[in-house]
Structure 1
Amino acid sequence: MQTLVTILSNFLFIVFVPVVMNRIMQLILHKLAHPEFFQVPIVTTLARVQGIIAGFLLIYVNIEHQYFDIEQIFVQDGPWHLTPSQFLAERANVFIYDPHPMFGLITQVQTSYGILANLAIIVIPIALLVLSFVFWKMRTALEILPAVAALALWAGWLTVYLVNASMWILNMLNFWSLIPLVLYIQYHGDKSKTEGWWWF
């Protein structure tokens, strides 16, 4: 059984990592990217959306779906019962995720995952390419495209990290993580009863 100090230190460490990495990424982008890059929100937003979708798809094609079942999330010695170093080396390490199965989803346009794959791999990249040359001259656009790719990759990593970190934290806190949910349900249950009394 983990002590409260261990749980708290692990929690702070896992939260600290993306905060620091995000700050570093912002500094790098603002230092290396063209000054006009952040002046066109539609480009930066689309790059982030592409990364977020790709991040979710990476999780979908690489992590067993049953890992996200309630009993698997909270079970001791389960797939989410990891040390911080194991978490960073396995779940949060996007370099061990195989992106190739994502391309297989492109042909499955009748499914929601197929649609998302087409958006992340085909539609949004083409839109970003076109928009870059619409808003900027060729030389400037060519300077901006690497920043677009970097922002999308960063959003993808952050998505993978945050989804896995959420599961890891739930496992670490175990049943204590259910207390806020129970209080939330009870609060809204009491609120609905009060509103019902008021109206009827």
Structure 2
Amino acid sequence: MLDDLTYTLWRVAELAALVMLPLFVWSMGRRVLHALDTIEYFAVPGMMRFSFLSGAITGLLLVVVNHDPSFYEFESVFHADGPWSVSFPELFTFWLDPGRYPPYELWLRVRGFDTGDPVTVLALLAAVLAGLVVVGCARYFGFGVLRAWLESAVIWCWGVTMAVYVVCATTWTLHVLNFWALVLAFFLYRYFTLKAAH
């Protein structure tokens, strides 16, 4: 009984850490960027959003081209000995290892510019957003353009990282919760439908 309680509390702590870690890093990162922002980068509308969105799209595409789609099927996610049956540290050392997401695989997928391929279309969208940021930096920041590009690159990398993190952390969480994930989904559904009704 005590062992089960300890195990459950430890799992709750791990899940809480999964949520708190990116929030803490983002909060600290924003403070640092704002403190070092001598060119008023964040005062330009859309600059940060476009950088982050471009990176997030790229991150999702890296997951798509480097992972077997079967990893995200119901049977794989909830199988006791499935690919997501790893410990909390292994989530970071295996699933969140940057080496699992080589950009070269994405380049191989999009280099033919097949506009019928959703991956190619989204990659083009990410490239357009990044291009707008590059042009916008050159237009608004003058001699501070290199600093603006550097800030944009940092935010872009954060977008890539967060996209990969959210996909892997969410899938791992569903595996850990197992049956309780369905119960939680039901309560969330009821909560939002009742809230929308009022």
> What's the TM-score bracket when you normalise by the shorter of the two chains?
0.7 to 0.9
Count of residue correspondences: 190
- Give 1:135's aligned residue: 140
Match of 2:57 among 53, 56, 59: 53
What displacement does 1:183 show? 4.3
Larger radius of gyration: 1
Which of 156, 171, 177 is equivalent to 1:173? 177
- Which ranges of 4 or more aligned residues in structure 1 deviate by more than 4 Å? 183-190
Q: What is the TM-score normalised by the length of structure 2?
A: 0.85
Q: Distance in 2 between the 1:16 and 1:187 partners?
A: 23
Matched ranges for 1:73-112 at <5 A: 73-106=77-110, 107-112=113-118
- Supply the distance in 1 between the matched residues of 2:191 and 2:30 (Cα, whole angstroms): 39
Which of 57, 62, 69 is 1:65 aligned to?
A: 69
Q: 1:134-190 deviations in whole A, cap 9, x for unaligned? A: 2221x1112210000100100110111011111011100110110133446678999
Task: For residue 136 of structure 1, give the secondary structure of its aligned residue in structure 2.
Answer: helix
Retained in 2: the 8 A contact 1:48–1:152? yes
160-169 or 2-11, larger mean C-alpha shift: 2-11
Say whether the 8 Å CA contact 1:73–1:79 is kept in structure 2: yes
CA-CA distance at 1:86 after TM superposition: 0.3
Q: CA RMSD in A?
A: 2.5
Answer yes or no: is the 8 Å Cα contact 1:103–1:117 preserved in 2: no
Identity of aligned residues (%): 24
Counterpart residue type for residue 160 of structure 1: V
Letter in 2 for 1:118: L
